[in-house]
Structures are given as structure tokens and as C-alpha cells.
């Protein structure tokens, strides 16, 4: 989900800053379409909704073994933003990576943010 930039509350110590990778211009992302980017050594699928929210999750479909989730069908299920794999149509929650058709399966999600006109994904 889109990252909100905020500082840690006073007295909580410092948080290790993630390493952010710029992947594309925000305006290059078409709403409800995914793109694929290499972040570190991982293929990440990035999505922008019509409302402007950004989501990032692994591009690897655990059911087919192919890196195809960026080409999935974006939608909603029970109010959750989702992507359906283009291979076998399993649906994944974009906020958690959990498969809604098989809750025992999930894919990693990544922090994503808009920094000026760029989209950045956290490597850790």
C-alpha cells in the first residue's frame, strides 16, 4: 500500500531506514494496470488504483511458478483491492499478499511510496 512518510514517535528510538529504489514515474503508471520492476534481486509487481493508491507485491505467482502477477486483473473482493493471476485466476489481496482463494498461500508485499513524481519501492 502507499507509504505515508512520518517520523517515529518521541522516545521510541530510531527505526532503520529502508533502502528505497525508484522504479518509474507516477504518471507512467496507468490506473488498474500493473508494471514489473526489478528491486534488488526480486521481481516486484506495482499497481496504481483509480483512486491513486499504490501497491507492490512479488510478481511471482506461486501456483504457476511464473512471474506474471504484474499482468493480472486488478479489482476488488469484499472491499479489498486485489489482483487475479493471469494464469489460473487465483486472487491476491494487494494489501497483504494473501491469496483469497487459498488462505494458506501468500506472496510477499513491499512498501511503496510516491516521492515527488517518482514511485519508489523499499528493498527491505
Is residue 4 predicted with pLDDT exceeding 50? Answer: no
Rounded CA separation 4/1 (Å)? 9
Is residue 61 a part of any domain in this protein? yes
Q: Are 47 and 75 in contact (CB under 8 A)?
A: no
How far is 81 from 107, CA to CA, in rounded Å?
15
In a domain, 94, yes or no: yes
- Whether 11 has a pLDDT exceeding 50, the answer reads no
Structural domain total, the chain: 1
What was the pLDDT predicted at 10? Answer: 41
The answer as to whether 5 is a domain residue is: no
Question: Regarding predicted confidence, which is higher, 58 or 4?
Answer: 58
Residues of the domain holding 72: 25-122
Q: What is the pTM of this model?
A: 0.85
Residue 18 included in any domain: no
CATH of the domain at 106: 2.102.10.10
Indicate whether 68 belongs to any domain. yes
Amino acid at each position: 500500500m502507499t507509504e505515508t512518510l512520518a517520523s517515529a514517535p518521541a522516545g521510541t528510538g530510531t527505526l532503520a531506514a529502508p533502502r528505497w529504489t525508484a522504479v518509474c514515474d507516477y504518471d507512467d503508471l496507468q490506473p488498474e494496470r500493473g508494471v514489473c520492476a526489478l528491486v534488488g534481486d526480486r521481481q516486484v509487481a506495482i499497481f496504481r488504483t483509480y483512486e491513486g493508491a499504490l501497491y507492490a507485491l512479488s510478481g511471482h505467482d506461486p501456483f504457476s511458478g511464473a512471474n506474471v502477477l504484474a499482468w493480472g486483473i486488478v479489482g476488488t473482493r469484499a472491499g479489498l483491492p486485489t489482483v487475479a493471476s493471469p494464469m489460473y485466476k487465483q486472487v491476491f489481496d494487494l494489501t497483504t499478499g494473501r491469496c483469497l482463494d487459498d488462505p494458506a498461500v501468500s506472496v510477499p508485499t513491499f512498501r511503496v511510496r510516491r516521492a515527488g513524481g517518482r514511485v519508489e519501492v523499499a528493498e527491505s
